[in-house]
């Protein structure tokens, strides 16, 4: 993925995973729209994730974009200043590589709680983790909007470095 995030981007991206996530696309999105009505938002709602309420929100909030699916995450990430996402392995690796400010909201029912562990492992990189509490997430967004949230360091080649290190250890054995 060849992407350079826009340092001045103000768009919020909400990603619910491959199937969307009702908490993110409904409860949280509504709370964010009410608290930050001018904030440009893109929300990937998942297949069949668009409901009647979403069409009303599109009418009320012209800066809102709703997508069932995105075939071009590179360009979407490039116009994004902040992400709220589930914490599947692919999402975590993409976001860490790009260094985008993020709140991971682990799927509570994930197998062996793997999304929680994925999210926690990213905290040392400046990533926030939240449960399914709209109030907590709104507070974290307020801090971002005030400009006091430290940007994570992009690590585009980190996976390659780690793979080479592991292979080097095996080749010496």
Chain segment 97-144, per-residue pLDDT in tens: 888 889 999 988 888 888 999 999 888 888 889 988 899 999 988 888
User: What secondary structure does DSSP assign to 113-133, as a single string?
Assistant: GHHHHHHHHHGGGT-EE--S-
Residue 42 lies in a domain: yes
Residue listed under structure tokens 């997508």: 67
Residue 74 lies in a domain: yes
Residue 47, domain CATH: 3.40.50.2000
Per-residue pLDDT at 159: 61
- Summarised one tens digit per residue, pLDDT across range 23-53 is 888 889 999 999 999 999 999 988 777 888 8
With cut-offs at 50, 70 and 90, classify the pLDDT of residue 6.
low
Residue 145 lies in a domain: yes
Question: What one-character DSSP code corresponds to residue 107?
Answer: -
Tokens for 30, please give them: 């509504």
Residue 1 lies in a domain: no
> How many C-beta neighbours within 10 Å does residue 36 have?
17
Residue 5 lies in a domain: no
Summary mean pLDDT of the chain: 83
State how far the alpha carbon of 55 is from the alpha carbons of 62, 67, 113, 158, in Å. 11, 12, 34, 41
Residue 65 lies in a domain: yes
Per-residue pLDDT at 127: 87
pLDDT value at 147 more than 80? no
Structural domain that includes position 24: 11-172
Tokens for 123, please give them: 């905290």
Per-residue pLDDT at 172: 67
Residue 118 lies in a domain: yes
Per-residue pLDDT at 17: 66
């Amino acid at each position: 993925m060849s992407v350079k995030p826009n340092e001045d981007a103000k768009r919020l991206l909400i990603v619910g995973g491959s199937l969307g996530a009702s908490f993110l696309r409904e409860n949280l999105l509504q709370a964010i729209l009410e608290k930050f009505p001018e904030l440009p938002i893109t929300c990937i709602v998942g297949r069949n994730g668009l409901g009647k309420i979403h069409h009303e929100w599109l009418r009320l909030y012209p800066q809102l974009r709703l997508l069932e699916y995105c075939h071009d995450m590179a360009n979407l990430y490039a116009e994004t200043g902040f992400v709220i996402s589930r914490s599947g392995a692919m999402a975590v690796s993409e976001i860490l590589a790009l260094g985008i400010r993020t709140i991971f909201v682990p799927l509570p029912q994930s197998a062996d709680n793997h999304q929680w562990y994925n999210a926690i492992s990213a905290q040392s990189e400046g990533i926030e983790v939240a449960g399914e509490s709209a109030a907590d997430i709104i507070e974290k967004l307020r801090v971002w909007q005030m400009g006091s949230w430290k940007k994570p360091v992009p690590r585009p080649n980190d996976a390659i470095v780690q793979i080479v290190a592991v292979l080097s250890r095996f080749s010496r054995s």
